[in-house]
Structures are given as structure tokens and as C-alpha cells.
Amino acid sequence: MDEISPFPEVQHQRALLPEGLALDCGAVIRPLSVAYRSYGTLNAAKTNAILVCHALTGDQYVAERQPVTGKDGWWEAIIGPGKPVDTDRYFVICANVLGGCMGSTGPREEMTDENGVGLGRPWGTDFPVVTIRDMVRAQKKLIEHLGIDRLLAVIGGSMGGMQVLQWAATFPDSVFAAAPIAAAAHHSAQNIAFHEVGRAAIHSDPDWKGGRYWEDGRIPAQGLSVARMVAHITYLSEAALTRKFGRRLQGASALTFLEDVFQVESYLRHQGSTFVRRFDANSYLTITRAMDYFDLANEHGSVAAAFRDTPTRFFVASFSSDWLFPTTESRALVRALNAAAARVSFVEITTDKGHDAFLLDEPEFHRALGGFLTGAAAALKI
């Protein structure tokens, strides 16, 4: 692969919070910068806000063109005027997670000391360990900064769903409705294993330099690309891969035994090479670690205990071919919510698109989510 330099700096919309944030690991980050975007209009009573939480490699550009890649917003399938998350009715906010690389405080941002003084170099690997709860606390500060007491809903898929659960467990009075999609109450051993393969690939890159690759203006592109390739396989399903690529060759009709390339190989290489042009390796390490640490039962004794007496209503959805966050995890979550006497809706959507299905065109899922939000808004007379 050709030498790749870090992706360009972009001006992101941010909220700067000088008081900073105390993290679960004990460190303090000051000041705290939360990059975010919003769509729609906040009503006078400030009751129609919906927070969308992005997944591992997502960002705040959920319903508009991403400035670095030029691609469509990652959840435009459900967010927009007249869509299930209707920007004509709701004020939709999406923030870049703490530890991300799209403008929120993270490994690419300038390192500061505990007094908030800048040190003239990026955090890099000196960025502290963050948890999903830290990410949620940062989002809470953003919401308070925007003058909102209670969110109508918090919605997210995959790691976004973990954040949704963390929101409901940590700030129950600030979340009226919670929709964790294709999520789980903890990361399984298999999921941690896949993340570890990705991290090991990054660490083995010749340009890794102990995480200080930014000193030379280079990135561990090969390692990060491989990490993305293996992760991307976990987001799909065997059925979908067979359907999309099968055993077809790229640009040839028969094997020649000289540099044959299958279509699926070409696809993965493309996924890898485009990824390194928009995501930071240290951010990838930071955020995958946060997902691996996430364990609601551990925090509270049990998942049911986490949601005892919760005033929040839940919509849980899973996808039948998702083997990364399988239906069994969502069902266990639903049973724990039942044990906590919480108000729950739960559906499993039949699809062959694997974990990625939550981002794609799934009409049943969209109808169910839209109906859940409409019901929630009606209950609050919004």
C-alpha cells in the first residue's frame, strides 16, 4: 500500500466545556470538547430532543454529507423529514463520542494537562482509557449545554446501543424512551477476540511506532486496513456475502492461478483502504477497548438491577442474521427488562444482511421504530 498520511483536519461544530470531565479511570480531561450536529428544531418546551449514538466507526454526521469522505450520512435511512426519526417533528442530535476522531476530545486532539493548559502535541496513546459511561457523561454535558433536561429518546445501534443502555442506567430521569438496536448488555468473549485481532494488526504495522506514528506524519495504514477488513466481515453474514459476491472473480471469468482476485477480496481491500482515509488508529484502539469493557451487569449486579424501577420505556430490536450481536443477546436484555418490570417492545427482524442491517433498508424495522417514537411522543403530548 502507498504511504498514507493522516486524514485532513476539518472544522467541526463543537461545544467546548471548560470544566471538563472526570473519567471512570480516575483521570480528568479538561477542557472537554464535544463535536456534534443537530437536525430539526427544538420546541419551546425543549421536550422533543432525540439523541442518536453512533457506533464504533461512526460519527456525528448521521443525516448529512460527511465532510471527510463526501458520503451520505450513516443513518439517513431512518433520519430525515418524514422518516421514522422525523426531523420535522423532533430535534435530532448526534455527537462524536469521547475518544473519537471527528472533533470530540480524543487521541487526535491537542493534549491538555489537568488545568486545561494545552501541551502542543496530540494525546496519541497518552489519551486515557475511556468507558462507554464516560462517553455518555460527555453527551450528558452536551445536552445540558443545549438546555435540555430530558430527552424524548436516545437511539443507537451496536456500540450506539450500548450507549443507549448506559444512558438509561445512568440517567434514568433524563431518558423517556430508549431504543438499543442490534446491541447487548456486554461484549462477548468472541467479540473481544475479534477486536483483539484488529488491535494486533495495528500494533504489527511497521509504521505503528508505539502509537506515536503522528510524529512522522504517517499512519499505520496496513494494520488499520486489516483491522477494518476483519471487522467488516463480522458486520455481514455468510448468506449476504454469498449473495453479493459468491465465488465470482474480479475482472475475470476463470482462474488463471496468476494473481487471481475474488470479488469478495476486492471488496474487503476497498473497505480497508477507504477506512484509513477517514479514521484514526489510536481512536480505533481507544473505542474498541471501551466496547470490550462495557458490562452493565458488572456495574449494577445484574442487568435487571440496572433498570429496577426505571421510568424509561424501551424498544429493543435485533436482526436474525446478526451473529455479532445476535438475537439471544437482545432477548436476554428483554428478559432482564421484564424482570425489572420495565415497559418493553421487542422485535427480531428477519434479514440476511447481518449486523449491518440496522443501517440499511429494513422496512419492518423502520415501521416498528417509527411507531415506537410516535407512541412515546404521544405519551408526552408532544
Partner 1 sequence: MAGEAIQYVAKNMRLDLRLIAEMIPEGARMLDIGCGDGALMAHLAAEKRVDARGIEIDMGEATEAVAQGLAVIHGDADNDLAFYPDGAFDYVVLSRTLQAVEKPREVLRQMLRIGRHAIVSFPNFGHWEVRLKLLFGGRMPDTETWSRPWYETPNIHPCTITDFFALAELDSYVIERWLAVDERGLKAPWRRSVWLANLFGQQALFQLRRK
Smallest CA-to-CA distance from 135 within 320, 327, 283 is with 283
The answer to whether residues 169 and 299 touch, using CB atoms and an 8 Å cutoff, is yes
Selected catalytic residue, list 59, 292, 322, 356: 322
Give yes or no: 270 in active site: no
Selected catalytic residue, list 38, 158, 225, 330: 158
Give yes or no: 266 in active site: no
Q: Helix, strand, or coil here: 258?
A: coil
Q: How far is the CB of 153 from partner 1 (least distance, A)?
A: 12
Q: How far is the CB of 367 from partner 1 (least distance, A)?
A: 4
Residues near partner 1 (CB under 8 A) are 313, 315-316, 331, 334-336, 338-341, 343-350, 364, 367-368, 370-372, 374-376, 378
Minimum CB distance to partner 1 smaller for 219 or for 376: 376
Q: How far is the CB of 4 from partner 1 (least distance, A)?
A: 44
Cα 317 from Cα 346, distance rounded (Å): 6
Cα 330 from Cα 317, distance rounded (Å): 7
Minimum CB distance to partner 1 smaller for 16 or for 341: 341
Minimum CB distance to partner 1 smaller for 204 or for 338: 338
Cα 69 from Cα 36, distance rounded (Å): 17
Minimum CB distance to partner 1 smaller for 206 or for 371: 371
DSSP designation for 114: T
Grid coordinates 496496513 are at which residue?
222
Q: How far is the CB of 280 from partner 1 (least distance, A)?
A: 38
Give yes or no: 88 in active site: no
For the chain, the first-to-last Cα distance in angstroms comes to: 53
For the chain, the residue count is 382
Minimum CB distance to partner 1 smaller for 248 or for 367: 367
Q: How far is the CB of 362 from partner 1 (least distance, A)?
A: 11
What's the half-sphere exposure (Cβ side, CA atoms, 13 Å) at 329? 28
Centroid of chain to Cα 236: 16
Q: Looking at the annotation, which residues are catalytic?
A: 158, 322, 355
